[in-house]
Structure 1
């Protein structure tokens, strides 16, 4: 166990530990939080104290509690949106590369049309019409982000699809489902794993932007982006309440990217070693 940990770079170890800490804090928020996230427990923007570790927010709610529950909501929505985007985008990208022809052409041009519209503007228009709830946010974010996943999945699958072992599988009479999941997917995991970390962070930033603009998570619940919006006026008076959720987003983004970079390098090295052998 110790030997395997020593093989992990220091940067990746830090990224793993910080990411795990964020996930555990989100999962255990009801146990860790000293107060309810919606109850006013003090005056407006109280400073840090033994009673309120991070102070209070613009309404007098405990900021540490709000940060825990905000992280819980942020990670939950971002994780499900990322899972949806990868499931949809990778499936369609691999299918387009393997099937080819008119299916590939029509699907690729449709994705190009969706990607030509700025993602944030597209989301704002859709969310202004649809009811703004958790399910809607996950679906809208997942579908819009799946276009990026589609592009990279298709590009990787096109390269893998012309390799000898794929051609051999086709000559054996294997179907398209077999080729996608048994031949292409295992050989496309390396770039997709790296993209997974980037897409997850993008989902967090995207959700935060929507909440900051008022179309994301709705009060009395709040994610980190909503907390920045709620407390932004305090920055003028030197109150750091809005900077704490912003710092949480930045730290999580860095830690996840450190892990994603290590996984990408590791899988690339393993494939290189197998190829040379």
Structure 2
């Protein structure tokens, strides 16, 4: 008498690098969402002397004005991640839609859009943003829109290049022969097959947005006081480096940790989606 055993499908194993990246990315995300609950002090509350060392009362010490650095870091995570995430979402929605449309429509629309994007990309992004932000009102909406529109040029280039290759494939030609419209071609034929490179680019664009925001805040045209973000905190406490105060190095380390962790997760997702596609193709 034989007993048949049912094997459960093995759970996908996460590489150690991706697991570390996922842990820190989740940690940063939770910190950003629950910042008011996690911060021991208020955003602008003066709690002691200037640049106090780390202690049981102030785990990361105080900043250049005597504010609790841990609380500022927690609120800074919320501002930095929120602005970078929204700007990245805008850049992907705008850039991918225009890129796919240019590849499908072609003709004069593709020519005009490509030359306009070439013009914007020929100007150094940081200099262009500094000029625009120095003229427009300094608020979060302006900052997010400027970052999103400037970053959309990179997404446009990638999405158009991917869509041009997919647009000439047999299944797209078959959809055109069935009489499907351009919206169907873009969202039902091209978009699902372009997700792998776009997912990888999503992580890179988010990292770029974090670094770009930090650079703008360090130069004084990003997040304005009394709001906190990590780039602005580096600027506020940079004079303490001369005296051996780590208040400027802690937010800089947080920026690097966020960038590395998101990059590890994005690489794992790209490898995962690519292997899944390859496995389905061999069946």
Q: TM-score range by the shorter chain?
A: over 0.9
**Residue 213 (structure 2) pairs with residue 207 (structure 1):** yes
**Residue 266 (structure 2) pairs with residue 256 (structure 1):** no
Name the counterpart of 1:236: 242
Residue 14 of structure 1, CA deviation: 1.0
User: What SS does the aligned partner of 2:247 have?
Assistant: helix
Alignment match of 2:226 (pick from 209, 214, 220): 220
User: What SS does the aligned partner of 1:58 have?
Assistant: coil
Q: How does 1:1-277 map to 2 (within 5 A)?
A: 4=11, 7-277=13-283
Comparing both structures, which one devotes a greater share of its residues to helix? 1
Runs of 4+ with deviation above 4 angstroms: none
**Distance (Å, rounded) in 1 between the aligned partners of 2:109 and 2:38:** 51
Residue 276 of structure 1, CA deviation: 2.0
Unaligned runs of 5+ in 2: 1-7
**Distance (Å, rounded) in 1 between the aligned partners of 2:13 and 2:189:** 29
Residue 11 of structure 1, CA deviation: 1.0
Residue 194 of structure 1, CA deviation: 0.3
Name the counterpart of 2:4: none
TM (norm. structure 1) is: 0.98
**Distance (Å, rounded) in 2 between the aligned partners of 1:201 and 1:34:** 28
Looking at CA atoms only, which structure, 1 or 2, has the larger radius of gyration? Answer: 2
What whole-Å deviation, never above 9, does each CA across 1:113-157 have from its counterpart, x for those lacking one?
000000000000000000111000000000000000000000000
Aligned residues: 276
**Distance (Å, rounded) in 2 between the aligned partners of 1:2 and 1:130:** 56
**Distance (Å, rounded) in 1 between the aligned partners of 2:131 and 2:47:** 37
Name the counterpart of 2:5: none
TM (norm. structure 2) is: 0.96
**Distance (Å, rounded) in 2 between the aligned partners of 1:274 and 1:96:** 30
Residue 3 of structure 1, CA deviation: 5.0
**Distance (Å, rounded) in 1 between the aligned partners of 2:10 and 2:57:** 43
- Cα RMSD, aligned residues only: 1.2
**Distance (Å, rounded) in 2 between the aligned partners of 1:239 and 1:202:** 28
**Distance (Å, rounded) in 2 between the aligned partners of 1:233 and 1:140:** 30
